[in-house]
Structure 1
Amino acid sequence: MEDPPDDPSPAQPAQVVDARGHRCPVPTLRLRRALERAGSGDRVLLLADDPMARIDVPYFLSEAGHVLVNSGGQDGALSFLVEKQ
């Protein structure tokens, strides 16, 4: 018997922005560009490895009015799932 998924209907990101290897503010700028192209309600997944992204990304999202759905980090890699408002 298989374990049920944590979220039975996860919304897939419309776009993945891989900004690993870039220092802030580049990850935030790439996220902003992706959100400008996204439709309302679309989700964008940002991948980054600069520790400053933990501060810069949530601040940008609060200023821009978008929603941070989920964030995490493992082995120096950070991920931010964002929903455009």
Structure 2
Amino acid sequence: MSAGDAAPDEVLDFRGQRCPLPVIGLARRLPELPVGAVVRVLADDPAAAVDIPAWCRMRAQDFLAATGTPEGPAYDVRRTH
């Protein structure tokens, strides 16, 4: 799945929260979801554009896409393990 192909399994809304809260929230929620689940993180802090892909690389999770949505910037992540 890439952004826009299908609805994510879950949406986490961290709009208005500053770094590192969006990454912390993603890190807490992702292990509770099944492998293969896609999470869309809504985060308007500009640091999220760097922090979320970097966290995915460090944790061996799939960063799928950064997109603009009607709700604002969004980052799609697939749980790999």
State the TM-score, normalized to the length of structure 1.
0.80
* CA deviation map 1:33-75 (0-9, x unaligned): 1211111000000000000111111110000111111112379
In the other structure, the counterpart of 1:25 is: 20
Q: Secondary structure at the match of 1:82?
A: strand
Helix, strand or coil for the counterpart of 2:31? helix
Q: Report the RMSD for the aligned CA atoms in angstroms.
A: 1.9
Q: Distance in 1 between matches of 2:53 and 2:12?
A: 16
% identity of equivalent residues: 33
What is the number of equivalent residue pairs in this alignment?
76
Match of 1:3 in 2: none
Unaligned runs of 5+ in 1: 1-6
Q: Secondary structure at the match of 1:39?
A: coil
**Considering only CA atoms, is the larger Rg found in Structure 1 or Structure 2?**
1
Equivalent residue runs for 1:6-17 within 5 Å: 10-17=5-12
1:2-81 pair list within 5 angstroms: 10-73=5-68, 77-81=72-76
1:13–1:43 Cα contact (<8 Å) kept: yes
State the TM-score, normalized to the length of structure 2: 0.84
CA distance in 1, matches of 2:29, 2:39: 7
